[in-house]
């Protein structure tokens, strides 16, 4: 997987060790020990992920320098995902960094596997949302469905009720979670997102509940779990439908008792988080006890919010197109152009099987590739008509892939691209469109799979 990673750390040994580890996996890894050189480095290109040491000057532990650098990074037009690092098991500082836009934190010394997992997740989230939190923090749409959705968010947000957000891939579930948090009494706290589908079972407890130094081989320092880091704020449990049953049992115990026990600790710690969860599983699967525990569902879905697919609120398409075309025109410094009248009709009638995310990718493509005075349909690279009109199924990723895979195989198309597309389609079908499982089986990261879905128009 290729990506551009920057390590900002005053300790050259630490930076070099991380660089050697990460270079093998991601390719381009830069280190910077002097924060004064950051602006010049950013002017040459913004990294995908920055590992940011919060304490530059030895002995200083208030993190002010790191937080100031975080502000500089977040102010970039296309900000990198930031993973905050601290040598101290300093939860308040890590939480402050999360509040100010870091996506994750790790404590030094880190285990190699943990560092790689953190970078992988940062890349996957960046690719999946293309900055769900940046670039378009606002939930756009004036259709009746969106107005009702916003009204529901407004009435639910101030309560402490746990909320479960349901909807197909790319409909905006994470944006809904962010809107709930922003309008809640916990808004001054952090909203910490965890991809439950991507958490390895072996590190599940440590990631969520934390651990004490020495409680297992890799536990070189105390580590706060996500529940502790989100204290006073909200915890967004994304892809909840992809959790193995054993992990579901552990999560249930924590929620029932309202406390968690870090691995190696002798006392439980009370939790103070509001849980917002999300899944793209359709409700039939979610209510199947072999997939998801009913008692856990009952804890999570005090309020259920369903986000309708874009094809059920086509009125929103022109607004979203205008927003994302403008955004990418600014980002790529291209002239402002209109969508040709006939093209707009086609785009509104298109089924957008990847929902708003697909529309956003299509806009980016049109801005980069469009040559005419106006945008034409071709600029948006829509999948073929046959795919676009396939009846919608519960999981939008699967439908076009299934429709297309046998066709390319039987038509004898054996180009590498066609084979890759068919393999992805078949794997997605096998796992009901579950991105995490499909990526694992294909041996690539979720970020890479999302890229390939975009490339093949799946
Ligand atoms: N109503 C909306 N207005 C503006 N942008 C939106 C809207 N809904 C979704 N998006 C954009 O579409 C992309 C996908 O949104 P988001 O990550 O919230 O979807 P999701 O349902 O959580 O997806 P997944 O199930 O794949 O995790 C993001 O870039 C987001 O900014």
Q: What 8-state DSSP symbol labels residue 240?
A: G
pLDDT higher than 60, residue 129: no
User: pLDDT tier at 88 (50, 70, 90 boundaries)?
Assistant: low
Q: What is the CA radius of gyration of the chain?
A: 22
DSSP string, 267-322: S-EE---EEEEEE---HHHHT-TTTS-HHHHHHH-SEEEEPPPGGG-GGGHHHHHH
Identify the pLDDT of residue 137.
55
Q: Indicate the burial class of 107 (C-beta count within 10 angstroms; 0-12, 13-18, 19 or more).
A: buried
Q: Give the residue-averaged pLDDT of 193-221.
A: 83
User: pLDDT tier at 66 (50, 70, 90 boundaries)?
Assistant: confident
ipTM over cut 0.90 = yes
Q: Are 433 and 398 in contact (CB under 8 A)?
A: yes
**Stretch among 7-11, 141-145, 293-297 having the lowest mean pLDDT:** 7-11
Find, among 318, 209, 323, 317, the residue nearest to 271 by Cα: 209
Spatial separation of the C-alpha atoms in residues 352 and 358, rounded to whole Å: 7
Query: What percent of the chain has a predicted confidence (pLDDT) above 70?
Result: 87
Q: Give the residue-averaged pLDDT of 303-320.
A: 95
Q: What 8-state DSSP symbol labels residue 110?
A: P
Q: Ligand 1 centre and the CA of 131: distance in Å?
A: 9
Q: Indicate the burial class of 43 (C-beta count within 10 angstroms; 0-12, 13-18, 19 or more).
A: exposed
DSSP string, 379-437: GG-PPPHHHHTSPP-S-TTHHHHHHHHHHHHHTT--SHHHHHHHHHHHHHHHTTT-HHH
Identify the pLDDT of residue 355.
95
Contacts of 193 (CB under 8 A, 6+ apart): 103, 125, 174, 177, 236, 238
b/e per residue 426-458 (b: at least 16 CB within 10 A): bbbbebbbbbbbbbbebebbbbbbbebbbebbb
The most distant pair of C-alpha atoms in the chain lies apart, rounded to whole Å, by: 68
pLDDT higher than 80, residue 399: no
Q: Residue of the nearest CA to atom 12 in ligand 1?
A: 357
Q: Ligand 1 centre and the CA of 456: distance in Å?
A: 20
> pTM score, two decimals?
0.66
Q: Are 368 and 332 in contact (CB under 8 A)?
A: yes
Spatial separation of the C-alpha atoms in residues 399 and 401, rounded to whole Å: 5
Q: Are 198 and 446 in contact (CB under 8 A)?
A: yes
DSSP string, 179-192: HHHHTSTTTTS-EE
| Helices and strands per DSSP (H, E), number in the chain | 20, 14
3-state class (DSSP) for residue 131: coil
- Other Cβ atoms closer than 10 A to 142: 12
Find, among 41, 67, 43, the residue nearest to 53 by Cα: 67
User: pLDDT tier at 56 (50, 70, 90 boundaries)?
Assistant: low
What ligand 1 atom has the least distance to the C-alpha of 135?
Answer: 31
Q: Residue of the nearest CA to atom 30 in ligand 1?
A: 132
128 lines ligand 1 (CB under 6 A): yes
354 lines ligand 1 (CB under 6 A): no
136 lines ligand 1 (CB under 6 A): yes
- Domains of the chain, earliest start first: 3-120 (3.40.50.2300), 144-308 (3.40.50.300), 310-382 (1.10.8.60), 385-458 (1.10.10)
Spatial separation of the C-alpha atoms in residues 356 and 225, rounded to whole Å: 32
Q: Ligand 1 centre and the CA of 133: distance in Å?
A: 9
Beta bridge partners of 191: 234
Find, among 146, 208, 142, 154, the residue nearest to 179 by Cα: 154
Identify the pLDDT of residue 148.
95
350 lines ligand 1 (CB under 6 A): no
Q: Best mutation site among 172, 439, 454 for ligand 1, i.e. most ligand atoms within 8 A of its Cβ?
A: 172
Identify the pLDDT of residue 177.
95
User: pLDDT tier at 171 (50, 70, 90 boundaries)?
Assistant: very high
Give me the residue label for tokens 């710690």.
269
The gap from C-alpha 448 to its chain's centroid, in whole angstroms, comes to 13
120 lines ligand 1 (CB under 6 A): no
User: pLDDT tier at 273 (50, 70, 90 boundaries)?
Assistant: very high
Q: Are 425 and 395 in contact (CB under 8 A)?
A: no
Spatial separation of the C-alpha atoms in residues 238 and 354, rounded to whole Å: 17
What ligand 1 atom has the least distance to the C-alpha of 435?
Answer: 26
397 lines ligand 1 (CB under 6 A): no
pLDDT higher than 70, residue 61: no
Question: Which tens digit of pLDDT belongs to each residue from 327-373?
Answer: 888 888 889 999 998 899 999 999 998 999 999 999 999 998 889 99
The gap from C-alpha 308 to its chain's centroid, in whole angstroms, comes to 19
Q: Residue of the nearest CA to atom 3 in ligand 1?
A: 140
């Amino acid at each position: 997987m290729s990506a551009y990673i920057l390590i900002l750390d005053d300790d050259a040994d630490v930076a070099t060790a991380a660089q050697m580890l990460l270079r093998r996996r991601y390719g381009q890894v830069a280190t910077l020990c002097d924060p004064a050189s950051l602006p010049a480095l950013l002017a040459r290109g913004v990294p995908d992920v920055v590992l940011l040491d919060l304490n530059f000057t030895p002995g200083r532990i208030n993190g002010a320098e790191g937080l100031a650098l975080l502000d500089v990074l977040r102010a970039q037009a296309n900000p990198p995902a930031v993973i905050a690092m601290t040598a101290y098991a300093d939860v308040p500082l890590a939480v402050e960094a999360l509040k100010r836009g870091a996506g994750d934190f790790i404590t030094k010394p880190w285990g190699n596997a943990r560092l790689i997992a953190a970078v992988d997740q940062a890349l996957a989230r960046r690719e999946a949302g293309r900055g769900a939190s940046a670039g378009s923090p606002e939930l756009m749409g004036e259709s009746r469905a969106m107005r009702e959705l916003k009204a529901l968010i407004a009435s639910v947000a101030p309560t402490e009720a746990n909320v479960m957000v349901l909807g197909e891939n790319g409909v905006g579930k994470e944006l809904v979670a962010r809107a709930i948090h922003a309008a809640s009494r916990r808004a001054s706290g952090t909203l910490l997102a965890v991809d439950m589908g991507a958490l390895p079972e072996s590190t599940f407890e440590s990631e969520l509940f934390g651990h004490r130094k020495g409680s297992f081989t890799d536990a070189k320092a105390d580590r706060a779990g996500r529940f502790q880091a989100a204290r006073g704020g909200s915890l967004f449990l994304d892809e909840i439908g992809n959790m193995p049953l054993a992990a579901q049992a552990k999560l249930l115990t924590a929620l029932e008792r309202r406390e968690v026990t870090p691995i190696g600790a002798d006392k439980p710690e009370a939790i103070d988080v509001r849980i917002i969860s999300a899944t793209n599983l359709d409700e039939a699967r979610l209510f199947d006890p072999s997939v998801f525990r009913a008692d856990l569902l009952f804890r999570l879905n005090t309020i259920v919010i369903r986000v309708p697919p874009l094809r059920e609120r086509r009125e929103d398409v022109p607004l979203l197109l205008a927003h994302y075309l403008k955004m990418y025109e600014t980002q790529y410094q291209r002239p402002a152009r209109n969508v040709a009248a006939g093209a707009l009709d086609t785009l509104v009638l298109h089924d957008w099987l990847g929902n708003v995310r697909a529309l956003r990718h299509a806009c980016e493509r049109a801005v980069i590739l469009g040559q005419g005075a106006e945008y034409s349909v071709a600029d948006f690279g829509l999948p073929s008509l046959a795919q676009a009109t396939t009846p919608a199924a519960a999981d939008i990723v699967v439908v076009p892939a299934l429709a297309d895979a046998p066709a390319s195989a039987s038509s004898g198309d054996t180009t590498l691209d066609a084979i890759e597309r068919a393999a992805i389609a078949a794997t997605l079908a096998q796992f009901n469109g579950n991105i995490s499982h499909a990526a694992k089986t294909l041996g690539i990261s979720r970020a890479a799979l999302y890229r390939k879905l975009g490339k093949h128009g799946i």
